Chain A
Amino acid sequence: MKVLVPVKRVIDYNVKARVKADQTGVDLANVKMSMNPFDEIAVEEAVRLKEGKEHHAAGTASEIVAVSIGVTQAQETIRTALAMGADRGLLIQSDKDLEPLAVAKLLKAVVDEEKPDLVLMGKQSIDGDNNAVGQMLAALLGWPQATFAGKLVVADGKATVTREVDGGLQTLAVTLPAVVTVDLRLNTPRYASLPNIMKAKKKEIAVKAVADYGVDVADRLKVVKVTEPPKRSAGIKVADAAELVANLKTAGVL
């Protein structure tokens, strides 16, 4: 079974995003960038499907292809996926940040070419916070989807997925090929070891351009402005529980 894992280069999750003074966006100059945390979990699960870790049968995945759409430096993100155990990479170069619909259309074109049995990806990127690409890709392909996966079992042409939903957990079975988006609790991603980082340098990354796919990637949403959220006024430190309760009563919340 071939697994395609889309990965995104985003601001590191520990960095607090700063809005540009001209309100055109978030300042990403000289900011630490990393692989989107959810995508690391997707790569890890794909590698486990190949290695047969935990409840997976060894060789469930035969090949793992990591794909990223973005600037030249997104090759580093793909290289990280290769060091974790992906077999080869594909970068679709784009100087501008594409909208989820455009990304889904490009990924559909990649799926048409690569013909994977499973697309395993993060549930959302921590920059746009859209939580949309996986669902949109499934729709464009006419494939079933299982989002917010907290557990994945692949057997007999099906993926059985336990999803993290409001109120608890829901288990679905989807016929392959399918798109599965992963949640935080699916696994703990490994750190790439130095030998694996060295080996990853020898793995192939194909580089293509958005134009190679003949897909309409025009923006549908115009970003009018990006602003800072309202600041909270400074609070006070109270000395003890009694003072806290007195304050909360005065504020009318108790």
Chain B
Amino acid sequence: MAVLVIADHDGSSVRDTTHKTVTAALALSSDVDVLVLGSKAAADAAAKIAGVRKVLFADGADLGHGLAEAVEATVVPLAAGYDAVLSPATTDGKNFMPRIAAKLDVAPISDIIEVLSSDSFVRPIYAGNALETVQSSDAKKVITVRPTAFAAAAEGGSAPVESVASADTDKATFVSEEMVKSDRPELGAAKIVVSGGRAMGSAEEFHAVIEPLADKLGAAVGASRAAVDAGYAPNDYQVGQTGKVVAPALYIAVGISGAIQHLAGMKDSKIIVAINKDADAPIFQVADYGLVGDYKTVVPELMAALG
């Protein structure tokens, strides 16, 4: 059995999500190849992941931008040589993997959190309120992996890098991108996350309260949907069922009530701290440490206590 992992990368190196997907792939087979789309530097970086048999590199601007039509046309011919194709459940993976599955006439298996055997997997459904164990009858499996559920594969490999044929698309064109610039750790991979909610009341307050606390802790900044919808924080900060799923060692929720959809994105965090002035807020039901109080007084006190 051979497995192909489609790498997630930033144009120069592979992201941590790729390492975690390799771990899931190694649970299926020892023959794991990694496909890197559109970045030779990232392909060279992928070759250093321990346990990888070889790295395939497909070049092309459309692939570099992750355009699903080009990715599908590149991956489908390669899939003939593999029993399973995996990618992290990032927005890119979620975008192109179902397209690849449909072309191969197989049922995609989305966002797995556990590999039970070569055909059985566990995945959350209903905003993480239930776990579904599924057994696939398809000869080929197309799977996206929830990165927070797997440990990262180590560095230290030296896999050969091979070029493979690539495809372009004429039906979709990349126009532009606008990425949020941040020096803080990446939300999905951070060890500590500080998230703010609607209680912040304004973008200025969000910046003034959440960011200094995050910086003091070396944490990534997250937000509830309410805070994002109100424009206090960029979309990309959203933690939840439809935003990012995080599982840091420490998650600090400030002024977040704890709706089902938000909990879906953070309830696997090791330790959850809730700061909220409403003692009945649902967030306290999942919090390891709850502090009932106005964030306006609690956060400065917390900053002081941290020294």
Contact = CB atoms under 8 A, between A and B. Distances in A.
B170 to A, nearest CB: 8
Interface residues of A, number: 81
A241 B302 contact: yes
Contacts of B128: 229
B297 to A, nearest CB: 9
B136 A144 contact: no
Interface stretch (B39-47, B48-56, B199-207, B280-288): B280-288
B183 interface: no
A139 B102 contact: yes
A135 B228 CA distance: 26
Interface in B272-306: 272-273, 284, 286-292, 298, 301-302, 304-306
Contact of B235 (A11, A100, A104, A150): A150
Contacts of B242: 38, 123-124, 183-184
B90 interface: yes
A146 B95 CA distance: 9
Given A226-B125, A235-B287, A138 B110 contact: no
A30 B178 CA distance: 45
A11 B126 contact: yes
Nearest to B240: A184
Given A11-B126, A223-B134, A229-B129, A143 B171 contact: yes
Nearest to B129: A17
B174 A220 contact: no
A101 B99 contact: no
A11 B127 CA distance: 11
B302 A235 contact: no
Contacts of A229: 124, 128-131, 267
B94 A147 contact: yes
B305 A136 contact: no
A18 B127 CA distance: 12
A147 B110 contact: no
Interface stretch (B26-34, B61-69, B77-85, B152-160): B61-69
A215 interface: no
A175 B99 contact: no
A104 B106 CA distance: 12
A193 B243 CA distance: 31
Contact of B98 (A100, A143, A251): A100
Contacts of A225: 132-133
Please classify how large the interface on chain B is, using the bins under 10, 10 to 19, 20 to 34, 35 or more.
Answer: 35 or more
Contacts of B217: 254
A93 interface: no
A168 B178 contact: yes
Contacts of A219: 107, 137
B236 A126 contact: no
Contact of B137 (A222, A244, A251): A222
B109 interface: yes
Contacts of B302: 241, 244-245
Given A139-B103, A172-B67, A16 B289 contact: no
A170 interface: yes
A17 B188 CA distance: 26
B171 A168 contact: no
A221 B124 contact: no
Contact of A171 (B176, B284, B289, B305): B176
A171 B249 CA distance: 34
Given A148-B95, A167-B179, A221-B107, A245 B130 contact: no
18 contacts: A100-B108, A127-B125, A135-B68, A135-B96, A135-B97, A135-B98, A136-B99, A145-B69, A145-B99, A147-B68, A160-B175, A172-B67, A175-B171, A185-B229, A226-B133, A229-B128, A253-B249, A254-B306
Across the A-B interface, give the 6 residue pairs with the lowest CB-CB distance, nearest first: A220-B107, A132-B98, A17-B126, A136-B102, A241-B301, A139-B102
Given A11-B126, A171-B174, 8 more contacts: A124-B242, A126-B127, A128-B125, A129-B241, A130-B98, A172-B173, A226-B130, A241-B291
